[in-house]
Amino acid sequence: MPKQESRRRAIKNLMMGSVAVGGLSSFGTISDNHHKKNTPLKGNINHAVCRWCYGSIPLEDFCIGAKEIGIKAIDLVGPKDWPVLKKFDLHSSMCNGAEINLVDGWNEKKFHQQLIRNYTEMIPLVAASGYTNLICFSGNRRGMDDETGLQNCTEGLKQIMALAEKNKVMVIMELLNSKVDHKDYQCDKSNWGVELVKRVGSPNFKLLYDIYHMQIDEGDVIRTIRDNHQYFAHYHTGGVPGRNEIDNTQELYYPAIMEAILKTGYTGFVAQEFIPTWEDKLAALKKGVEICDV
């Protein structure tokens, strides 16, 4: 599906749990063509996966497949689907449902009232369900300079930080590339995001460092992680170019990146966020997890 719109549409569709659930189907287990026995994971990386990349698989089947692989959590799932995750003892590692969309975000004051209302309602729900991470977005520039965007985001986000701190919920802004997938998105460089974290000044506001997106917009991934890891609360993967499998068909060497993340002392989740091209999507996911299991 088209790269520019695929995630935006998928998150919109999945945001509040619109994916139908059902019994086992042909998607339910990993094909025997790709494995006969699962090798236990090493346990150094807490593996997760983004739901939207596997939207064609019914959620219950997807949970069963994820558990077989050794995945502990699923990213970008809304409140209506949290009971399904709990049924399969899977964590919601990056909750969504409070954002308006990817383009209308905290950098424009005209959206603050709605966003503050949305996050004020969602933060206690996240906490009550036993989760800690809630995603947010800067929004598109629409001609706005970086400083104005920083000021507006800071002003808006500060109004929900006391509630986030009280509920022990991390509000996490995702870094997205503006070169290929999300043209005009403002939080498209690590230094801009880090400056925003500093200005908001709350231990409950940090960044989602998306390795795929930042390789496209700035590169120097391992050095950036080493230098700025204290500002990063979550990580996403993806093959560059194309946002497909993270194997030797793309330019990043994920074992070294995972080692760098571990050396920072990070103990959170790393979520696979590539669009599988293999016919057996769960087998592709399993391979991605194995590559990152250092």
Q: What is the pLDDT of residue 200?
A: 98
User: Computed from CA positions of residues 9, 10, 11, 16, in that sequence, does the dihedral angle turn out positive or negative?
Assistant: positive
What tens digit of pLDDT does each residue of 152-180 get? 999 999 999 999 999 999 999 999 999 99
What tens digit of pLDDT does each residue of 29-52 get? 444 444 445 678 999 999 999 999
CB 266 within 8 A of CB 234: no
Query: Residue ranges per domain, the chain?
Result: 3-16+45-292
CATH class as words, domain 3-16+45-292: alpha beta
**Mean pLDDT score of the chain, rounded to an integer?**
91
Q: Which position has the token pair 């409140």?
A: 79
Answer yes or no: is pLDDT of 14 > 90.
no
Largest CA distance in the chain: 55
3-class DSSP state of 87: helix
Q: What is the pLDDT of residue 289?
A: 98
Closest-CA residue to 254 (of 217, 278, 279, 290):
290
What tens digit of pLDDT does each residue of 243-267 get? 999 999 999 999 999 999 999 999 9
Cα gap 103→80, rounded to integer Å: 24
Which range (39-43, 132-136, 181-185, 240-244) has the least confidence?
39-43
pLDDT category at 68 given cuts 50, 70, 90 is very high
Amino acid identity for residue 287 in this structure: K
Q: Give the count of beta carbons closer than 10 Å to the beta carbon of residue 281.
A: 20
Answer yes or no: is pLDDT of 223 > 50.
yes
Q: What is the pLDDT of residue 35?
A: 45
Instruction: Specify which residues 134 forms β-bridges with.
Output: 95, 171
What tens digit of pLDDT does each residue of 98-130 get? 999 999 999 999 999 999 999 999 999 999 999
pTM of the model: 0.89
Cα gap 133→98, rounded to integer Å: 12
Q: Which residue has the higher pLDDT, 146 or 35?
A: 146
User: Exposure pattern of 53-69 as b/e (b: 16+ CB <10 Å)?
Assistant: bbbebbbbbbbbbbeeb
Q: What is the pLDDT of residue 33?
A: 42
Q: What is the pLDDT of residue 286?
A: 98
Q: What is the pLDDT of residue 152?
A: 98
Answer yes or no: is pLDDT of 4 > 70.
no
Q: What is the pLDDT of residue 39?
A: 76
3-class DSSP state of 131: coil
Answer yes or no: is pLDDT of 26 > 50.
no
Q: What is the pLDDT of residue 6?
A: 56
